[in-house]
Amino acid sequence: MDESDWLAERFEEHRTRLRAVAYRMLGSLSDADDAVQEAWLRLSRTDASRVENLAGWLTTVVARVSLNMLRSRDVRREQPLVHMPEPIVDRADGTDPEHEALLADSVGLALLVVLETLSPAERLAFVLHDMFGMPFDEIAPIVDRSPEAARQLASRARRRVRAERTDPDPDLEAQREVVNAFLAAARDGDFEGLLAVLDPDVVLRADLGPAAESREVRGAEAVATQAQFYSRLGLLMKPALINGAAGLVSTKDGEPFSVGGFTVRDGRIVAMDILADPERLRRLDLTILED
Amino acid sequence: MQSDVELVRGIIEALNRGDVDGMLARMDPEFEWRPLESSPVARVYHGHAHVRRYVEDWLSTFDGVRLNLENPAEIAGCVVADVHGHGRGRASGLEIETRFCQVWTLRSGTAVRMDEYATREQALTALESR
C-alpha cells in the first residue's frame, strides 16, 4: 500500500470540502487538519449501515468537532482586540491548486477576521448555511437549538459580516493596482496619495501577538498616518496573494515581519488585515519568500 | 506457554499504554489490521509501518484511548473478543465510544491478522465461512 492509498478513496472525495468547512470554522489550517483527521478516525469506527448520507455525516462530524474546538479555545484564550486568522499565502502570480480548492467561493482574510468575532454557534450556523448550503434543520441538532433559533444565529452573523464589507472587487489585477498605488504613496510619504486609495471608512486591523497590543484603526486619515509610520521602518515588501486577494509579505533584515491582506472595493481599500505576530509568522508557510 | 487469549490481551494492553513498539513486537511483520469491515472507509493496514501509522494517528488524535476486551474466547483457531473502546478528541474534547468485535488470527505465538466486525454475530458468521 503506497502513500496515495493511505486514506480511503471515499473519504478523499470529501477531504477538500471538509478542510474548507473546518478552515472557515477555525481560521487555522493546522486546526482544520486536526478536525478532519478526527472526523476520519471517527468514521473508521462507524458502521456504514448507520450512515445514509456520507457527505452530510462527515460535514456534521467536522462541524461538531470544530464547534467544540472553538468553545474550548474561547475558554482558554484571553480574547485580544484583534485575532488574525491564519492567512493562506501564495505567490502574486498564482494560487497553489490545493489552496485554490480550499479558498473556493472566496474566503478573504477580512471575512475570516469578522468570523472570529462571532460566537461559536453563530459562526457554525453562518458557515454551514450561508457558505455550504446546509439546511437549518440539520444545523439545529449540532448547536443544540431549534431550527428557528439556528436561523436566527445565522441571521445575526450575516448582519455582522455585511456590516464589515468583506467582499473584494473580483478583478485581481485592479486590486493589485490599488495596493501598488497605496505602497507607492506610503513609500513617498504622499499623504494625499494615500487618502486617494483609502475608503473614508477603511479599517486597519493588526495582530501583533501577545507581546504587543493589537490594534484596530478606523478612518482614512488615521490609517494613512499609520501607513506613513510603517513606511519608515525599512521593510522590504513582496507582493503576494493572501487568501486569494491582493496582499503582501514584508520582511525586515531578512526575517518575516508581517503578512497583510487588502480588501479593495470600488477601487479603494476598505480593509487592511495584518498579521505581525513573530511566533505565528514563524509557523506560516512563507516559501514565496525563497523565490 | 502463553495462550492465544493472553497474547491478544498483551497486544491490547500495550496499545492502551501507548506502547506501539510493544504491540508490534507481538505481531508478525506481515500483520494485517482490518478495521471495522462495515465502515465506509474500510481498508486493510498491512505490515508494521502502516499499522504503526494507523495506531499512532489514533493516539495523537485522541487522549485516553482505551480498549477493553470482553468475553475473549478461542473459536475455530482464532480469538474472538468483544471490544468496548473509548477516548476523547484531543483538540475537540468530544468523547468517542465504540463497541465492536475483533477476530484475531495467530500463528506460532504471533498475531498475523485481526478483523473487526460491528457485532459478535457478524464476526462468528464470517469465521464460519472462512
Mean pLDDT of A247-269: 93
CA dist., res. A34 & res. A26, Å (int)? 11
Q: Which residues contact A189 (CB under 8 A, 6 or more apart)?
A: A228, A231
Per mean pLDDT, which range of A67-81, A108-122, A257-271 is the poorest? A67-81
pLDDT for position B101: 95
Per mean pLDDT, which range of A58-72, A98-112, A277-291 is the poorest? A98-112
Residue holding cell 471515499? A10
Percent of chain A with pLDDT over 90: 59
pLDDT for position A167: 84
pLDDT for position A120: 96
Q: Which residue of A has its CA nearest to B117?
A: A47
Residue B40 contacts A, CB cutoff 8 Å: yes
For residues A63 and A179, state if they share a domain: no
Mean pLDDT of A39-47: 85
Residue A104 belongs to some domain of the structure:
no
pLDDT above 50 (res A3): no
Which of the listed ranges A38-42, A80-84, B38-42, B66-70 does the model predict with the highest average pLDDT? B66-70
Residues 3-62 of chain A whose Cβ lies under 8 A from any Cβ of chain B: 5-8, 10-11, 31, 34-35, 37-38, 40-49, 51, 54
- Say if residues B106 and B113 touch (Cβ distance below 8 Å): no
Of A40, A48, A65, the CB nearest to B94: A65
B90 neighbourhood in chain A, CB within 8 Å: 34
pLDDT for position A10: 67
pLDDT digits (tens, 9 = 90+) for A228-246: 888 888 888 899 999 999 9
Band (A73; pLDDT cuts 50, 70, 90): confident
A65 and B92 within 8 Å at the Cβ level: the answer is yes
For residues A148 and A197, state if they share a domain: no
For residues A142 and A272, state if they share a domain: no
CA dist., res. A260 & res. A242, Å (int)? 7
pLDDT for position A102: 74
A46 and B40 within 8 Å at the Cβ level: the answer is yes
pLDDT digits (tens, 9 = 90+) for B63-118: 999 999 999 999 999 999 999 999 999 989 999 999 999 999 999 999 999 999 99
pLDDT for position A45: 84
A47 and B39 within 8 Å at the Cβ level: the answer is yes
Residue A149 belongs to some domain of the structure:
yes
- Domain with A60, as residue range(s), is 3-81+118-163
pLDDT for position B122: 93
Residue A183 belongs to some domain of the structure:
yes
Residue A189 is part of a domain; what is its CATH number? 3.10.450.50
pLDDT for position A229: 85
For residues A151 and A263, state if they share a domain: no
The three grid cell numbers given for residue A286, joined into one nine-digit string: 512563507
Residue A91 belongs to some domain of the structure:
no
pLDDT above 80 (res A268): yes
B41 and A11 within 8 Å at the Cβ level: the answer is yes
For residues A268 and A242, state if they share a domain: yes
A47 and B38 within 8 Å at the Cβ level: the answer is yes
pLDDT for position A77: 63
pLDDT above 80 (res A78): no
Max CA distance (Å), chain B: 44
For residues A203 and A280, state if they share a domain: yes
Helix (H, G, I), strand (E, B), or coil: what is residue A62?
Answer: helix
pLDDT for position A138: 95
Mean pLDDT of chain B: 93
For residues A126 and A190, state if they share a domain: no
A3 neighbourhood in chain B, CB within 8 Å: none
Of B38, B50, B57, the CB nearest to A49: B38
Which of the listed ranges A54-63, A93-102, A117-126 does the model predict with the highest average pLDDT? A117-126
Which position has the higher pLDDT, A107 or A281? A281
Residue A73 is part of a domain; what is its CATH number? 1.20.140.160
For residues A227 and A282, state if they share a domain: yes
A149 HSE (CA, 13 A, CB side): 8
Number of Cβ within 10 Å of residue B77's Cβ equals 11
pLDDT for position A43: 84
- Provide the domain count of chain A: 2
Of A1, A45, A69, the CB nearest to B36: A45
Residue A24 belongs to some domain of the structure:
yes
Residue A111 belongs to some domain of the structure:
no
Per mean pLDDT, which range of A3-12, A173-182, A248-257, B46-55 is the poorest? A3-12
B36 and A46 within 8 Å at the Cβ level: the answer is yes
- Say if residues A226 and A203 touch (Cβ distance below 8 Å): no
- Provide the domain count of chain B: 1
pLDDT for position A1: 45
Band (B56; pLDDT cuts 50, 70, 90): very high
pLDDT for position A6: 45
Residue A93 belongs to some domain of the structure:
no
pLDDT for position B38: 77
In this structure, which amino acid lies at residue B87?
A: G
Mean pLDDT of A115-144: 95
Which stretches of chain A are DSSP H helices? 9-26, 29-43, 54-76, 97-103, 109-116, 120-126, 136-143, 147-163, 172-187, 191-197, 220-231, 278-283
For residues A243 and A145, state if they share a domain: no
Q: Most A CBs within 10 Å: which of B39, B60, B96, as the mutation test of the A interface?
A: B39
- Domain with B44, as residue range(s), is 4-128
pLDDT for position A79: 65
For residues A15 and A65, state if they share a domain: yes
For residues A139 and A221, state if they share a domain: no
Which of the listed ranges A80-84, A103-107, A121-125, B52-56 does the model predict with the highest average pLDDT? A121-125
For residues A125 and A210, state if they share a domain: no
Residue A87 belongs to some domain of the structure:
no
pLDDT for position A214: 80
- Say if residues B105 and B78 touch (Cβ distance below 8 Å): yes
pLDDT digits (tens, 9 = 90+) for A149-190: 999 999 999 999 998 888 888 899 999 999 999 999 998 889
Of A10, A35, A54, the CB nearest to B91: A35
B61 and A41 within 8 Å at the Cβ level: the answer is yes
Q: Which residues contact A284 (CB under 8 A, 6 or more apart)?
A: A86, A87, A89, A256, A259, A275
Segment A32-37 long-range contacts (CB within 8 Å, at least 24 positions apart): A32/A66, A34/A69, A34/B61, A34/B90, A34/B91, A35/A62, A35/A65, A35/A66, A35/A69, A35/B91, A35/B92, A36/A62, A37/B57, A37/B61
B40 neighbourhood in chain A, CB within 8 Å: 8, 10-11, 43, 46, 48, 51, 54
Residue B97 is part of a domain; what is its CATH number? 3.10.450.50
A40 and B41 within 8 Å at the Cβ level: the answer is yes
Mean pLDDT of A22-48: 90
pLDDT above 50 (res A248): yes
pLDDT above 70 (res A284): yes
CA dist., res. A223 & res. A185, Å (int)? 13
pLDDT for position B61: 94
Band (B36; pLDDT cuts 50, 70, 90): confident
B39 and A37 within 8 Å at the Cβ level: the answer is no
